[in-house]
Amino acid sequence: MTDKTKEKLLEELLNVQKMLEERTETQGQMIKRFQRLVANEGLFSQVIDLFPYPIAIFTPEYSLTLVNKAFEAETKTQVSAEQKDVRILPYKIDNVQLATGITRVFDGETSFFEDLKNPFAMFSGIEVSELQANRFSKAVIFPIPSDDVRITHGVIVFMP
């Protein structure tokens, strides 16, 4: 390998590292804001409901406990806490990294995914048209702890 090739490779690696650090910082800020909202439930549910991107909040058993209006509009499915029909089905997730991220969220890990194909296919009872299937190709998955120790819920935010 020539010196120029090594320098170019090192430069590209530094650029990738900088980009990843910026994403991690952005995700961290988003999670902190989300956790602050959890403390104020009325405002929390209002902000979640009006957020323009689909959001799904789920338990360690993969049952959806809350979704926002954007999720309901995108999937044409209503989900309530009493209704246990809609769940995440890990075996229906084509992307192994996404499946791992959903599992590891309960270990306290935050994950960011790009280039997702039909991410709503992982939910039971939801049929998404081909036009809608790839509209949201990015997702952030992060944990919500109840008492800063035990993680009670995971959150998926889908983005275009």
Q: Quote the tokens at residue 28.
A: 């961290």
Q: For the chain, what are the domain ranges?
A: 3-159
pLDDT band at 155 (very low <50, low <70, confident <90, very high): very high
Torsion of CA 46, 100, 94, 24, to 10 degrees: 60
DSSP 61: T
| Region for 108 from its dihedrals, namely left if φ exceeds 0, alpha if ψ lies in -120 to 50, beta otherwise | left
Whether 145 and 151 have beta carbons less than 8 Å apart is answered as yes
Q: Using one digit for the tens of pLDDT, what is the confidence trace for 67-117?
A: 999 998 888 877 765 555 788 998 888 889 999 999 999 999 999 999 998
Assigned architecture for domain 3-159: 2-Layer Sandwich (3.30)
